[in-house]
Every structure is written in structure tokens, then in C-alpha cells.
Structure 1
Amino acid sequence: MPDLADRPGLPEGYPPVPEPLPLAEGPGVVDDHTHLDHLDDATVERLLAAAAAAGVPRAVQIGCDAAARTWTDAAVRRWPQLLGGVAVHPNEAPDLARAGRLDAALAEVERLVTTNDRIRVVGETGLDTYRTDWDDDAARRAQLDSFAAHVAIAKRTGRTLQIHDRDAHAEVLDVLEAEGAPERVVFHCFSGDAAMARRCADRGWYLSIAGTVTFKGNHALREAVRAVPPVLLQVETDAPYLTPVPHRGRPNGSHLVPLTVRAIASELRHDEEELVGILSQGSEYLYGLW
């Protein structure tokens, strides 16, 4: 296919569109988690077109601060390629709690989920001990309370829960067990080991795999991918971050999902077209029809 990087359609600085994914049963692979809210409308249009050319015609746009939640609510109404997710990010929860605004932000999340049928995800929510001082009792409690509240919202509204888990594997699993997980759970940018992957799979929870699976030193993630049935996998970009090899360090976009899919197919020694069909069917179970 022509290199779209040489045409006006692809924004400057973005890597070229790789060989597109093969057609398979279902409407195509979904970028399970992306952030487009920092871009202008023209750039969003170009990236969505490039993604479709790569065999990735759909994406889940995630908004997890006040401005991004508002943008996501409007974006999923404007672009049929997008469904949405909204949440209070765990790193934002302590600041909101200190300002006395956490309850209002959580109420906004539930309002958006219940008033816009195209917002099908509660997330990304979870725990983050990397950026938050876990020894700070108030900050830790704010994250835990916020996460539990999101779990409850997902259960009340029947939405899929997308988990943010950064250096908090045991703590996240403890909350899900204590609160009772909703029917559909996805670990965004899964970063646990094979033992954690198997524990999630035993509960029917999905692992969304980002471009990090292509990073040379990430053996633990590749072992985790091999540890679960392919039917419990999804793929994502977390764009503009986590760009897969060989374009690491450049801005990421949904059009680069084929690189991650091919890395997974190679790791599993799985037929690429069959894997595309499995991923497509899994996304429709998680999010419904676009």
C-alpha cells in the first residue's frame, strides 16, 4: 500500500502506516485505549483515517480529567469510529479529595455514563503507587475510595471497567475482590507477570496489551501474554504514549496497532488473521456494537 506518511493525511511527526491488518470475521480490530483529547479536530480526522487504512477502524477514547471527560462526551457523538470511557484518574483523586471535589467529579462520571449511550467504559480507574506517595494515608485513601466508587458505578450502569494499574498489582486485585468486580473488566496496558495474568484469566478479566510488548527487555509481559487464552486479550495504543518498536519515542496513534497485533501473533505462534477475528469479537463483547 502507499506510504501514508508521504501524503497530507498523516500528521507531521507520526510514524508511517504499517502493512494493514488482514480482514477477518467482524468489523476489525479496536484500539482498546487511546487519548485523542489533546489534539485539534483536523489532526483527529487524519489519525482516524490513517487507522482505518491500517485495518483499525474503531477506537475507545478515554477521558480521565475534567476537560478530557467533556471532550470525550462530545467526540463520541461526533465521530462514529469512537466509543468512550470516562473516569477520575487515580493520580487526580488525591488532589480532588484535598479540595473537597472528589464526590462531585465522581458524580460527573456517572452522569456522563448514564446520559450518553456511546460512553461504554468506566475508566481508566484504579491505583497508582508510582506517582502517588503510598505512605501518605490521605492520598492512599483517596485513591482507594475513588477506585471503589468507580467499581460501583460500572456495576450500577452495566459498563465495562478499564483498570489503571501502575506498580499496584496486589492492591488492585484486593480492591476488585473486596468490592466485587463488574461483569466486564479490562486491565488497560497490562503490566503484571504471568502469575497475575493467570489470576485475571481465571476470573474472565481481559488484558489489554500495548506497544510495550514489543520492547526488547519486556520479557515478563510476553510471558503474561502466553499465559492466557487469546480470547481474553485486547490491544491498545495508550496514544500518544508507548509507541511500539521500531518507532519508540515518536508519537503513537491507532494506525500503529498492527505492530502490536503482529508481536502478539508471533509470540503466540498464532495465525494473524485468526487473531484479528478473536480480538474483534472480544471488543464487541466488551463494548457492544459501534
Structure 2
Amino acid sequence: MLFDSHAHLDDKRFHDDRDEVVARAVAGGLTGILNAGADMFSSARAVELAAKHDIVWAAVGIHPHDAKDAREEDYDRLAAWCALPKVVAVGEIGLDYHYDFSPREAQRAVFVSQLDLARQVGKPIIIHDREAHADVLATVKNEGKGLAGVFHCFSGSVEMAREVLKMGFYVSVAGPVTFANAHKLHEVVKAVPLDRLLVETDCPYLTPEPFRGRRNEPAHVRYVAEKVAGLLGLEPEALAARTTENTKRLFGITV
């Protein structure tokens, strides 16, 4: 039983066959998919998908790419969504210094506002961090006290992973862990305690081997789990059970 802890089923690349994608996930043994919002529109779609599919839960939030468009009234709407039973997190939120689609000052301001929102609504957070490791860590340490959450699609070092763990956060790995040259990520996996590890697809992005270069989907989380299990010397079923348990514990999912 697997749980894809981070997906974007609302993406336009699923418009023609979204129901079939969900059906393949169920057939592939998934017990859950967490669909993360990236802006107000995709967050609304995440809420709709969670209401439609038993296997889907939602997170709502404003990605750093869209921080420049955030409005004060958006936070009230995010808070209202967080009151719904299948909305289990605020995310994905954070900083992205690779593309800088939003000014860094705006990214940081919206990140801090959503950390405060998560505290107010009592939800864990899903953190996006791309080429912004130091600022993300500092912001969470200074502004995110008392919050739980996960650094999704982790791309930092073993040393950074240890800092994340000290703060009580989880580490999630995606398709890149299956890549032959992902030596740093392999070492991270080995350094993270099994009870703090999640697996994800981040679909439709970051497709794992052997499907690299094609559209990703939740059913492919099994390839991430199998690679992680191999790195840790575990049977895939045992790794799947532990990461699913971790996902449900972090996000308060009881079914």
C-alpha cells in the first residue's frame, strides 16, 4: 500500500485522462494521493479533486512562482479551504531561486504569511525549496516555530537533511532518486530515519526511471519506493507500509 505524498493531478497534462490516471493509481495499490496546490486556481482544483475521489486529499497554498500575484484576500480563502475535512496541509509554499518568476522579496513575504496561516489553522506545511536552501532553513527556523511539515522533493545535502530533521520535519524524495547519477540524494535517503521519510511523484514532473522523459503519474510512485527500499535494504512492501504510515501521521489522515 503506497501513498503518493505530492502530486499535481490538477495539471493540464491530465485533462484528457485524469479519471483513468486515478484508476491506475488504485489498481497499482495506492491508498492515497496528496494533491498540492500551487496558486489559487490549482488549490481550488485540488479541493474539487479531493471531494470527487476517495483516494485524493488536498493541500492549498501559493507557490513561490506565483507570490507576485498574491492578494490579502487570498489568505482568507486559503483558511476557509483548510477547514474542509480533506484539506490536510498548507502547500506547496517556499522559495525558488532557480527561476525567480517572482521577486525574492515577494517570495519571502508570501512564504512567511503562509507559515503564519498554517499556524492559525493548525495544519502542517509542504515546503518547496529550489536553490534557496539557506534562506528556506532560516525562514522556517525563525518564522515556522511549532509547525510540522515536509521538505518535498528534497534536493539538499545530508547536512541540510540533518538540520531539517532537527526541526522535526520530514524529508520526501521523488523520481530523481531513481537516476543513476543521484549519488547525493542516495546518501540523504540513507541518513534519514525511516519514520521521517516520505515518497512522492511530484507528477506530472520528475518521472522516475524507467519512464524518464514521459509524463509522470501517481502509479509511478512504486518505482521511487522500490529504489528507496533497495538503498535501505528493505523489502518494497515494508518501505511502502512505513512511508504510508508516515504520510498519514504527518497529515492527520486516519482512513
Q: Give the structure 2 partner of residue 81 of structure 1.
A: 55
1:26-41 paired onto structure 2 within 5 Å:
28-39=1-12
Secondary structure at the residue paired with 2:154?
coil
Secondary structure at the residue paired with 1:264?
helix
Q: Quick one: which amino acid aligns to residue 61 of structure 1?
A: N
Q: Does 1:218 align with 2:218?
A: no
Q: Does 1:268 align with 2:242?
A: no
Q: Does 1:106 align with 2:75?
A: yes
Q: Give the structure 2 partner of residue 52 of structure 1.
A: 26
Deviation of 1:180 (Å): 2.9
Q: Give the structure 2 partner of residue 67 of structure 1.
A: 41
Match of 2:113 among 141, 149, 157: 149
TM-score, with structure 2 as normaliser: 0.94
Q: Does 1:248 align with 2:212?
A: yes
Deviation of 1:36 (Å): 0.9
Q: Give the structure 2 partner of residue 3 of structure 1.
A: none
Task: Name the CA distance, whole Å, in 1 between partners of 2:183 and 2:195.
Answer: 21
Task: Name the CA distance, whole Å, in 2 between partners of 1:277 and 1:79.
Answer: 22
Q: Quick one: which amino acid aligns to residue 68 of structure 1?
A: S
Task: Name the CA distance, whole Å, in 2 between partners of 1:75 and 1:257.
Answer: 19
TM-score, with structure 1 as normaliser: 0.83
Partners of 2:96 and 2:129 within 8 A in 1: yes
Moved more, 144-153 or 60-69: 60-69
Task: Name the CA distance, whole Å, in 2 between partners of 1:204 and 1:78.
Answer: 32
Q: Give the structure 2 partner of residue 129 of structure 1.
A: 97
Equivalent pairs: percent with the same residue? Answer: 33
Higher relative contact order, structure no. (Cα contacts within 8 Å, ≥ 6 residues apart): 1
Q: Quick one: which amino acid aligns to residue 254 of structure 2?
A: L
Deviation of 1:203 (Å): 2.2
Shift >6 Å, 4+ stretches: none
Deviations 1:2-23 (A, max 9, x none): xxxxxxxxxxxxxxxxxxxxxx
Task: Name the CA distance, whole Å, in 1 between partners of 2:48 and 2:39.
Answer: 14
Partners of 1:128 and 1:165 within 8 A in 2: yes
Task: Name the CA distance, whole Å, in 1 between partners of 2:240 and 2:55.
Answer: 18
Deviation of 1:106 (Å): 2.6
Deviations 1:80-129 (A, max 9, x none): 111100111101112x1xxxx53222332222112x12111100000011
1:9-24 paired onto structure 2 within 5 Å:
none
Secondary structure at the residue paired with 1:132?
coil
Match of 1:282 among 238, 243, 246: 246
Task: Name the CA distance, whole Å, in 2 between partners of 1:68 and 1:278.
Answer: 29
Q: Give the structure 1 partner of residue 137 of structure 2.
A: 173
Secondary structure at the residue paired with 1:250?
coil
Gaps of 5+ in 1: 1-27
Deviation of 1:182 (Å): 4.0
Q: Quick one: which amino acid aligns to residue 87 of structure 2?
A: I
Deviation of 1:157 (Å): 1.1
Partners of 2:4 and 2:200 within 8 A in 1: yes
Task: Name the CA distance, whole Å, in 1 between partners of 2:176 and 2:8.
Answer: 17
Q: Give the structure 2 partner of residue 231 of structure 1.
A: 195
Q: Give the structure 1 partner of residue 85 of structure 2.
A: 117
Deviation of 1:42 (Å): 6.5
Deviations 1:222-247 (A, max 9, x none): 11111110111101101001000111
Partners of 2:199 and 2:221 within 8 A in 1: yes
Gaps of 5+ in 2: none
Matched residue count:
253
